[in-house]
Amino acid sequence: MSVPLRIEIMQRETIKPSSPTPLALRSLKLSLLDQFMPISHITLVLFYPGNGNDTDHLGKAKETSLRLKTSLSEALTLFYPFAGRLRDNSSIECDDHGAEYIEARIHCILSDILRKPETEVLKQLLPAAIGDAVITARDSQLLVQASFFDCGGLAIGVKLSHKIADAATLASFIKCWAATARSSSTEVIISPVFMGASIFPQMDLPIPMLPVDLIQGEAVLKRFVFEAPKISALRAKAISASVPNPTRVESVTALIWKCAMSASRSNLGVPRKAVLSLGVNIRKRLVPALPDSYGGNYVGSISPRMEDHDDLELQGIVSRIRKDLTEFGEHYAKITQGGDTSLAICKTVEDFGKMAMSKDIDYYNCTSWCNFELYGADFGWGKPTWLSPVFTTELKNVVCLIDTRDGDGIEAWISLSPEDMALFESNKELIEFSAANPSVSV
């Protein structure tokens, strides 16, 4: 698919909540975990094929756009912070400022985009900010772009502030918005809960920032797909006495990290230490556990480490990931919600930052969006044929995992330095279990 796309912006407007936010909810205090997050957006694009029986694509687009805007307004009544503005690094002013909505026409057909998905093309399906990007991120927590293709297909691009949402919260919002659009009287819509600051209170201490600069630099981003049968074989290969039941996420993460470390070592010509920051949903680890309807950032991380003398062996890497996950769960099961939790998180982030800043260690970051059931997002015209997060900045040594459409496979977007990617993508073990950027069937 050629770059750039032929895009025609039809309208841009601000969508406000259908009901005003009560005065008691007009100020939302950020949690400690929210404060850690940079002023940036989480991104997602969902693709829907056109109805072959519809020939009036323009009329259908107007009808669809109206449904999206009306249901978005209703969903914002529940997700009221998404219509607010970030005032500082401590609170959101929930003033019903609104979400930005853009309607666009894309002068090509959907299958052209999905034949070989490219990040530079996907970026153009995200809502573009007018003016300074940082100011937009502060004043607009949510931006949406509905892009209608010449064939009748649709792409819904979403940018949601990372200050008030993690991937689980994004998924909860998409499900709520879609359910509202379906307008079924029997639909049960779960209201979100925004009370992260009471669980992870702010601390009167300097906030240790995550070491984002460690993953900035020239990078090549590519998509690899691990289908369900290949993952079954990979899991069987990863079985060991210490981990008799490796999960699909553990197995795929371990293989990707192994191949990335191997590429780095080969290019450097010497063994090298490596650490992996792997995001973990804290909601499931607390006692009592919290449902995903708890909005905000509830993500911690584990940091399995490989020494320069360690063999890069799949079973051993899986064991290290499982060991850290187990210890992480035990830790959060013991601590109480409140100040002690926040203090412990601050120390963990600070310690990790010091370790990762070492000049003789490779730093990798992995995020999993698996099991969030995003493919259930039916707005009334069927489920998405494909969806994907979109990398909008150049970062290296970063991995994002997300379910395939059947829910059993995994798609991985992987960003490495050009030198490491050249060796990584030719790794025989990676080729055995994955396919490089296959076409998406419409």
Confidence bin at 227 (pLDDT 50/70/90)? very high
Average pLDDT over residues 282-306: 91
Residue 4 preceded by cis peptide, ω within 30: yes
Average pLDDT over residues 57-61: 83
Average pLDDT over residues 73-97: 95
Residue 183 pLDDT exceeds 90: no
123-134 per-position pLDDT tens digit: 999 998 655 555
Average pLDDT over residues 280-294: 90
| Mean pLDDT rounded to a whole number for the chain | 90
- pLDDT confidence of residue 12: 95
**How far apart, in whole angstroms, are the C-alpha atoms of residue 8 and residue 12?**
11
Least confident of 167-181, 286-300, 327-341: 327-341
Q: 292, 38, 41, 2: which is closest to 144 by C-alpha?
A: 41
In the numeric block, which tokens belong to residue 356?
């990762």
Residue 355 pLDDT exceeds 70: no
Higher pLDDT, 388 or 199: 388
Residues in the chain: 442
**How many helices (H) and strands (E) in the chain?**
13, 17
Least confident of 105-119, 204-218, 399-413: 204-218
Residue 95 pLDDT exceeds 80: yes
Instruction: Give the percent of the chain with pLDDT over 90.
Output: 71
DSSP letters, 78-144, are: HSGGGGSEE-SSSEEE-----EEEEEEEESS-HHHHHSS--HHHHHTTSPPPSS-HHHHHHH-SEEE
Q: 127, 102, 124: which is closest to 15 by C-alpha?
A: 102
Confidence bin at 348 (pLDDT 50/70/90)? low
Average pLDDT over residues 356-376: 89
- In terms of C-beta distances under 8 Å and separation of at least 24 residues, what long-range contacts does 249-252 make, across chains too? 249/368, 249/370, 249/401, 249/410, 250/318, 250/321, 250/322, 250/325, 251/314, 251/318, 252/226, 252/401, 252/410, 252/412
Terminal Cα distance for the chain, rounded: 16
Q: 33, 286, 287, 290: which is closest to 166 by C-alpha?
A: 33
Residues belonging to the active site: 162, 378
Average pLDDT over residues 200-229: 80
Least confident of 156-160, 189-193, 376-380, 433-437: 189-193
